[in-house]
Amino acid sequence: MAIPFPSDEWIKAAMVEINASPAYQKAAKSWEGDLIFVITALPDERKEVSLYMDLWHGECRAAYEVTDPSQKTSEFTITAPLSVWRKVLEKKLDPIRGIVSRQLKMEGSLAKVMKAPKAAIELVNSCAQVDTSWPN
């Protein structure tokens, strides 16, 4: 059954996929860093949704929706409208290209991300395995 994006249920399902992925584990074996994904331009009453992931040496140690963004910080924050996130998760937009072209607005060290592009791609590949339903 499809899981609505963005939601706490979706990010937790993504965590399961990440932790089941040997390709992500290999690509991210030296990655240390947590992320907040901010989804804007939603077609409902929500202004934005923030989804958190704690990524550590090829494992996702935690994943959840952040209900109060002022109470959570992370090494990286990546913000984009829902339409851009959909392109990323449907593999129509490479995440590194999205960052470089500023379709995905990132706060954090671009140099660190550029040292692990395969980890970013495998993260997206894992998340793309989630059966996702998109808001209208």
pLDDT tens per residue across span 61-83: 999 999 998 889 999 999 999 99
Question: Residue 81, exposed/middle/buried by CB under 10 A (0-12, 13-18, 19+)?
Answer: middle
Tell me the pLDDT tens digit for each residue of 108-118: 999 999 899 99
Residue 70 has a pLDDT of 85
The SS3 call for residue 134 is: coil
CA distance 66 to 106: 17
Per-domain residue ranges of the chain: 3-128
pTM of the model as a whole: 0.94
Per-residue pLDDT of the chain in tens (136 residues, 90 and over written 9)? 899 999 999 999 999 999 999 999 999 999 999 999 999 999 999 899 999 999 999 999 999 999 998 889 999 999 999 999 999 999 999 999 999 999 999 999 999 998 999 999 999 999 999 999 999 7
CATH for 3-128 is: 3.30.1050.10
Residue 23 has a pLDDT of 97
CA distance 135 to 119: 28
